[in-house]
Structure 1
Amino acid sequence: MNATVATQVASNSSIKANAIKASFPVRRMDFEFNQVPEYWMNGSAGLTHFMTALSALFPDGEKFFVDSVRAVRYHPLLKDNPAMQKEISAFIGQEAMHSKEHVGFNQSANAYGHDVASLERKTNTVIQTFRKGFVKLLKPVGITQEMIDLTATTALEHFTATIASQLLRNEEIQAKMTDETMYRLWMWHAVEENEHKAVVYDVFEAIHGRGIKAYGLRTSTMAIAMVVLLITQSYFAYRLLKQDGQFNAKSLGVIYKYAYSFKHGIITGMLPELVDYFRPGFHPNDHDTNALLARWKEKLGFNTH
């Protein structure tokens, strides 16, 4: 192949790669949180602090997700796949926007005297402690830090997509979001978590396959990640309630009803999809949310994509 032909082939390949688009967009929302009331969940301190405890996890949690994927995106099994690279770029973009908006909300909660900033720092401490502890434990059997980080992100992305789909389905929780800004924040976030729910899993599978080692790694990590995440979020909710003088039967009762009861609870509603992650051959797209997303994108005015 002469130089002219080689240049033309490279140029055509570049054009084809540039023509490929991700299956979902990056939306910049730029919410204003200045007018958000202190107890924006229908005046309930319990529900507001429960959701704020979740929000405290996001800035550093989503940075960890982005860093984990960036660390492997040019792996030999991924770097020459333009479609996968577009999906990764869009995933990184969406997660960056989520982190940005939750930082904004968390700062507004701080303005009311709720110490969300210290909880954000604790999130990073939890992440670093467990990721470094796991690699120290598993390094003798050939598990690297990149593998731990990517596998944890794969598991936690399924967790976030699952709680997001519950938010999109649970009309009782939606009705409690009486502040329009916070309603749109959480519904936008939930839509996007489901739009990109398969990206990290596909990255993991492309690199590590579906063998016994990959299965054992992803399922054991999910089991540990669920326990760590739920304990951390529960502790954060306790801290917020305690600092606010709202750690009482009324607050705990409403949290139980809308988070953990079998009839209404958003956490208990997640269980079937969370358990399905342990099934051999599982894939996030086995849980079809296309119709759900189409309905919510129309409702939120995201009709362009």
Structure 2
Amino acid sequence: MNAKVNISNRAGASFPVRRMNFNFDSVPEYWMDGSAGLTHFMTALSALFPDGEQLFIDSVRAVRYHPAIKENEALQKEISAFIGQEAMHTHEHVGFNVAAQKYGHDVKKLERQTGVVIQTARKAFAKVVKPFGMTQEMVDLTATTALEHFTATLASQLLMNQHIQKIMTDPTMSTMWYWHAIEENEHKAVAYDVYEAVFGKGVKAYALRNSALVFAMVLIFLVQSSFVLRLLKDDKKLNLKELGTIYSYAYSPSKGIITGMGKEMLAYFKPRFHPNDLDTVSLLETWKAKLGL
């Protein structure tokens, strides 16, 4: 374990807040088995997290005292732990991004651009759905609900895909990503439960959450892909070899982590879907034991 861990569960939630303290000083430039392409692919993902997870926190905080859930003590505890975990994810990804920056990769710029994209997209989407009686708060929470499904699905694939695990050769980085993956699945139902409690399960809520997922996935693909290409270009490693490696481990039918997400992502469109329908309990227990969590 390459971090000092302080576990807090004062909120009494069903999952704890683990206060990590990873040391990224010794992380090599190309920490994924020496591959620039795969390392930049993960760095591009990491650049999305600080502002993305701040959106998650803000959107849930904005409605946590809504009359529908204000007196729900159990859900309030889950919300507190959700915010705690997401805050820690932001903290550690900022730390990793700073470590990548020292090698000359301008991740800080990518973080800033992520913030601009998020703010532009949330406001634009709110304008589109405003005629249907949907507020900015509803849009933000819907986006969080959709994106939480994406991150939890990506996380579960990371914990299951042995092809990816074999090339995550740096112990600090692999532990950081596995820890993040575990916690994304621990709290995967919180935003969804808040959304359903506040906005219900009607046709409007169903249509909004589904359209938000489609919109968000297209946006993430375009932004993250552009970040990968920029990192590779600036590193003078934008070539067919690196792009082929990314395709093999991210998008190929046989071992791609992104293509492996397909079935679980589509489950979101079921009218009676709930995140806990996708059972990851035993998977998480196995990985928590491996990491000593």
TM-score, with structure 1 as normaliser: 0.92
- Partner Cα distance (2:90, 2:11) in 1: 26
Which deviates more from structure 2 when the two are superposed, residues 206-215 or residues 91-100? 206-215
Give structure 1 stretches of 5+ with no counterpart: 1-17
Deviation at 1:209, TM superposition (A): 1.3
- Partner Cα distance (1:32, 1:279) in 2: 42
- Partner Cα distance (1:20, 1:236) in 2: 37
Give the alignment partner of residue 26 of structure 1, picking from 17, 41, 48. Answer: 17
Structural mapping, 1:138-153, within 5 Å: 138-153=129-144
Q: Is the 8 A contact 2:59 2:140 kept in 1?
A: yes
- Partner Cα distance (2:140, 2:161) in 1: 31
Match of 1:12 in 2: none
Q: Give per-residue Cα distances to partners, 1:183-235, cap 9 Å, x unaligned.
A: 10000000000000000000001111111111101001111111001111111
Q: Is the 8 A contact 1:20 1:82 kept in 2?
A: no
1:257 aligns with 2:272: no
- Partner Cα distance (2:157, 2:38) in 1: 16
Q: Is the 8 A contact 1:20 1:83 kept in 2?
A: no
1:246 aligns with 2:237: yes
Match of 1:178 in 2: 169
Give the alignment partner of residue 47 of structure 1, picking from 38, 45, 48. Answer: 38
Match of 1:57 in 2: 48
Q: Is the 8 A contact 2:11 2:80 kept in 1?
A: no
Q: Per the alignment, in what secondary structure is the counterpart of residue 293 of structure 1? A: helix
Q: Which runs of 4+ in 1 moved over 4 A?
A: none
Deviation at 1:165, TM superposition (A): 0.1
Match of 2:58 in 1: 67
Structural mapping, 1:137-216, within 5 Å: 137-216=128-207
Deviation at 1:134, TM superposition (A): 1.2
Counterpart amino acid of 1:222? Answer: L
Q: Is the 8 A contact 1:106 1:116 kept in 2?
A: yes
Give structure 2 stretches of 5+ with no counterpart: 1-8
Deviation at 1:133, TM superposition (A): 0.7
Give the alignment partner of residue 279 of structure 1, picking from 231, 256, 270. Answer: 270
Deviation at 1:19, TM superposition (A): 9.2
1:98 aligns with 2:81: no
Q: Give per-residue Cα distances to partners, 1:79-104, cap 9 Å, x unaligned.
A: 10110000000000000000000000
Q: How many percent identity over aligned positions?
A: 68
- Partner Cα distance (1:169, 1:276) in 2: 18
- Partner Cα distance (1:207, 1:108) in 2: 40
TM-score, with structure 2 as normaliser: 0.96
Q: Is the 8 A contact 2:159 2:181 kept in 1?
A: yes
Deviation at 1:135, TM superposition (A): 1.2
Cα RMSD, aligned residues only: 1.1
Q: Is the 8 A contact 1:59 1:103 kept in 2?
A: yes
- Partner Cα distance (1:19, 1:300) in 2: 22
Give the alignment partner of residue 228 of structure 1, picking from 215, 219, 224. Answer: 219
Give the alignment partner of residue 107 of structure 2, picking from 104, 116, 119. Answer: 116
Q: Per the alignment, in what secondary structure is the counterpart of residue 266 of structure 1? A: coil
